């Protein structure tokens, strides 16, 4: 499983940003290999995160090449006052079972077998 984290500081956000952002999420959900998405805003400051989870690299690569995603990337100098992308391989996920997550709980799944 992969996690693609897009971290950014907003620049000049406009209505088109909101429209494309919603379209990107909807298109991600249609791509084979999509597992889930989260977004975060830091309470202090203006940093935001969009985190996408993928079952495989092929799905993530299709997302990166998606026409709507590419269109949005073309506006990055206007919309973002800095950004950073991190693509990570997830090696484990677990918890106490009280906080469900799109990545599941690998320890509990293994015990249930």
Per DSSP, the three-state class of 45 is: coil
At 47-67, the pLDDT tens digits run: 999 999 999 999 999 999 999
Q: What is the pTM of this model?
A: 0.88
- For the chain, what is the radius of gyration of the CA atoms? 16
- Residue 70's CB: how many other CB atoms inside 10 A? 10
**CATH number for the domain that contains residue 90:** 3.30.70.100
Give the whole-angstrom CA distance, residue 39 versus residue 23: 15
Nearest Cα neighbor of 103 from 86, 89, 82, 113 is 89
At 12-45, the pLDDT tens digits run: 989 999 999 999 999 999 999 999 999 999 988 7
User: Count of domains in the chain?
Assistant: 1
- Residue 45's CB: how many other CB atoms inside 10 A? 8
H helix or E strand, kind and range, residue 70? helix 67-73
List the domain range (segments joined by +) for residue 6.
2-112
């Amino acid at each position: 499983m992969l996690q693609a984290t897009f971290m950014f500081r907003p620049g000049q956000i406009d209505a088109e940003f909101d429209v494309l952002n919603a379209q990107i999420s909807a298109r991600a959900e249609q791509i084979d290999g999509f597992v889930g998405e989260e977004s975060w805003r830091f309470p202090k400051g203006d940093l935001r995160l969009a985190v996408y989870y993928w079952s495989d690299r092929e799905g993530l690569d299709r997302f990166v090449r998606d026409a709507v995603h590419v269109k949005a990337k073309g506006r990055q100098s206007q919309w973002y006052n800095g950004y950073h992308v991190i693509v990570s391989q997830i090696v484990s996920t677990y918890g106490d079972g009280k906080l469900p997550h799109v990545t599941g709980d690998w320890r509990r799944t293994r015990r249930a077998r």
